[in-house]
Structure 1
Amino acid sequence: MTDSDDLLDSYAEDGFVFPAYGDRCFADVTESALSLLSDEFNRELPDDAFGDLLNGEVDNVVLLVLDGLGLDQWNRLNRQVPFFESFEEFGELSPLTSVYPSETAAAITTLHTGLLPAEHGLLGWHQYFRDIEASIQTLPFLLEDGTRVHDAHPLANARELFAGEAIYGAAESAGIDTHVAQPERIANSASSQLTTAGADTNGYWNVADMAVTVRDTLADAEGPTHVTAYVPNVDHIAHITGTEQDRYDAQARMVTEAVRTGLVEELDAETAERTALLVTADHGHTNVDQSEQVDLSVPEVQDTLQTGEDGEPIPPVGGPRNVQFHVEDGRVEELRSYLEANHDVLTLDREEYTERGLFGENEVEPSEMFERRAPDLVAVHKETVMWYHGDEKIGVHGGMTPAEMLVPFAAARISDLQE
């Protein structure tokens, strides 16, 4: 098994971690999980990440995605959380990198489509939609002030959120019954309907309800079955408290105990023997001091930006740790020089981030959607947030620190976890 130091040796540079696409990356999780059920899918992750799962029959796969649970926090809590400890003893734990940006919008779109950000083109929580001349919050499909996009712009098309299709149609064609469990409040959102198309979607009230729903799905399965269970609770508390508070630890214990007691311990022995449980996360978090927030509303930044048809600068997009600029022709170096002279940032222009495969491996063909949205300059701060309006979160992500970029991938047969 590769450990996190090996991964950092290969993909870290001056404290910034680049995605391990095609090697050990969150982007490869879904197709690799489906490969346990059908040869139609490639096992992109190395065999050693699956431990003993490859030595016996697997009829069902549960892919549990704990939004925001970075590898640092798994390792810190592994002796305090029975669920984590059981994987350490009876399963296999491997480090992966997130995609870039290490944000839910980009990573969860990758999860459900199997496409890299350069292919699906959804590059952050905040994106500028040129058709409506506005920046939006992508997954909830809201304007920045919280107004529903369709209320303000009835002709706006949610299909413009990303390119490509959900992977579940291909899975169903391969004879795999696919299910997605996610909170009821997001299950029917415009983005969720697109990303989970082809799967049987189950909205749940709380994590205990989700665990029982997944257990019932497995018990009723009549053929190869894949369940993606998405849990945002850890991410939510990390934003509020950071990752080193009792409330964060309590949330992690609550979520994992619901899964352990509601799914793992209660699944019948015969089904448990044939079911793989894979646990991962889309990103981790780094804790920041909001008083050190970088102000991007200054003229040195705003005056370099492209303008929309209304004459106003197109705002930086992406997120506070993943800042993407659309810059006037000939002014990229001016903006870069200002940012690097005044802040501890990594900046990459389009040629550089393409060469480094930041949004996807070099051999990947970028989509037309990506080409329309590709920033002229990317800036990632080493320690704090960069944004043009207030944001009071303590735990943040989207950037390239090890805390944000390294995530766990745990694999075990449920019957082994019942011992």
Structure 2
Amino acid sequence: MKNILMEDFNGVIDGYRWNSYKDLLKPAFGNGCIADIPGQILANFGISTGQETKNHRSLMEGKHDHFIFLLLDGFGFSTIKYSLKKHSMKHLNNFADNSGVKLITSVFPSTTSTATVSYHTNMHPVEHRIVGYTSYIPEAGTVCNMISLTPLGQKEHCLLDNGYEMPWIEHHGTIYNKLQENDVNSIFYLPYAIRNSGLTRITGNGAKISPYYSVSQMLTSLRQDLSSAKGRTFHFCYIPTIDTISHKIGPYTQDTALEIESIFMLLEEQLIKASDLPEDTFISISADHGHTVPEEGQKIDLSVDRKLKSFLNTPVVGDPRASVLRVKDGMIETTMDYLTEKYEKYFIPVLSKQMLAEGFFGTPKSVNGDTSFLGDIILISRNSTSIFDSSLKLIDPGNQANTLIGMHGGLSCDEMLVPFFAREIS
């Protein structure tokens, strides 16, 4: 890890920059993006994905019978840099010194719902169609939380229980379905509280769900599952605590650094040093996104802009750092001009179709069918700006999104750049 910190940082990320705005990054699909990881996991087990290209960048080498993947929510490179500079990170450094380490990009939006569906399905965002923390779902006639898959303010009413289906489920499925078809047993470890969430129900299909109450308990279950394994196995471990602390306390704090270090300490003590793991066990670790910290004076509530609201069909949805507008017929050009003139200092308005054509939601060959779920205009936050529509509190009074400290969803280096670790452990 120290080697990466000492490299020319700009040189490392030059290939990721957005040509139109050099301080922002573009998802590097096929050349170092988290969306490449599931395809390479499948390839580890000899399963072809049909996505290989001559430009495809390999993140891991060899084939292994037992593969562990840890998804550390919110484990961004900027948070790692802060932690290493300000705190003694003995266990993180130990793990990194014995691993291959690369820097890769998140997807866009750089948010959990979008990224995790890509992880579990080997699909680009334009294919799986979950592009934000909240989204307007025409079939439901309201704005929905895309992690619980429920209308805002109605957490007990999952869309899946009311006839709503993701269009890709039947024909594409998850990576676990593909592994199952190839005689690889999959186990998905996740916190007990979200074992039955809407997103878990669609992304965990084909895997054995193993809920846990603590990271220590999860690692105990993982070690037991490995030691008793018969045949080839894949283990997907989701740990949300770094993200939770980054949201509530901040990504650049001692609290977050200690949480990172505690995870790597437990990993070392309970797994790396274990003597009962099967031969040919491999582990990789990455994240879904990083965090940035918006300034209090740059939180923009678009619900108070009556002129803008007169142009829109629905409330502003998406994420505080990447928001989506649905515009009334014939008003897109007028809306773009208005946004550019009034809010140039705070965010960049871009036509959704333009971002789609430039590959922000996936490679051109993956674009297929209706793309109305992308809305009409995407607002990309500049610097330390965050964007809200407080009118959504009318239907979801408990929503605290505008009080979060760490935020994500946008294209800044802090949000987009994440690590990828890979190593054998037996």
TM-score by length of 2: 0.87
Gap change, CA 1:284 and 1:356, over 3 Å in 2: same
Q: Which residue of 1 aligns with 2:309?
A: 302
Gap change, CA 1:365 and 1:292, over 3 Å in 2: closer
Q: Which residue of 1 aligns with 2:14?
A: 9
Residue 243 in 1 paired to residue 251 in 2?
A: yes
Percent identical residues: 24
Q: Which residue of 2 aligns with 1:379?
A: 379
Q: Which residue of 1 aligns with 2:414?
A: 403
Counterparts of 1:154 and 1:285, CA distance in 2: 30
Comparing 339-348 and 231-240, the one that deviates more:
339-348
Counterparts of 1:367 and 1:116, CA distance in 2: 14
Q: Which residue of 1 aligns with 2:183?
A: 175
Alignment of 1:11-90 (within 5 A): 11-12=16-17, 13-41=21-49, 46-47=57-58, 49-50=59-60, 53-54=61-62, 58-78=64-84, 80-90=88-98
Counterparts of 1:332 and 1:207, CA distance in 2: 48
Counterparts of 1:83 and 1:114, CA distance in 2: 31
Q: Is the 2:149–2:160 Cα contact (8 Å) retained in structure 1?
A: no
Gap change, CA 1:183 and 1:267, over 3 Å in 2: farther
1:162 CA drift (Å): 6.5
1:71 CA drift (Å): 1.3
Paired amino acid for 1:61: F
Q: Is the 2:92–2:265 Cα contact (8 Å) retained in structure 1?
A: no
Counterparts of 2:127 and 2:52, CA distance in 1: 19
Q: Which residue of 2 aligns with 1:105?
A: 113
Give the paired residue count.
Answer: 397
1:267 CA drift (Å): 4.5
Gap change, CA 1:39 and 1:130, over 3 Å in 2: closer
Counterparts of 2:368 and 2:406, CA distance in 1: 31
1:40 CA drift (Å): 3.3
SS of 1:140's equivalent in the other structure is coil
Q: Which residue of 2 aligns with 1:365?
A: 367
Residue 282 in 1 paired to residue 288 in 2?
A: yes
Note the residue ranges of structure 2 that are not aligned, 5 or more in a row: 391-400
Comparing 335-344 and 63-72, the one that deviates more:
335-344
Paired amino acid for 2:70: L
Paired amino acid for 1:305: L
Alignment of 1:166-205 (within 5 A): 166-205=174-213
Comparing 1-10 and 16-25, the one that deviates more:
1-10
Gap change, CA 1:64 and 1:373, over 3 Å in 2: same
Q: Which residue of 1 aligns with 2:355?
A: 353
SS of 1:14's equivalent in the other structure is strand
Paired amino acid for 1:77: S
Two-structure CA RMSD over aligned residues (Å): 2.3
Q: Which residue of 2 aligns with 1:388?
A: 389
Counterparts of 2:167 and 2:256, CA distance in 1: 31
Counterparts of 1:161 and 1:266, CA distance in 2: 42
Once the two structures are superposed, residues 157-206 of structure 1 have per-residue CA deviations (whole angstroms, 9 ceiling, x without a partner) of 35248754212111111221111100111112222011110011100111
Counterparts of 2:163 and 2:199, CA distance in 1: 11
Comparing 182-191 and 398-407, the one that deviates more:
182-191
1:43 CA drift (Å): 7.1
TM-score by length of 1: 0.88
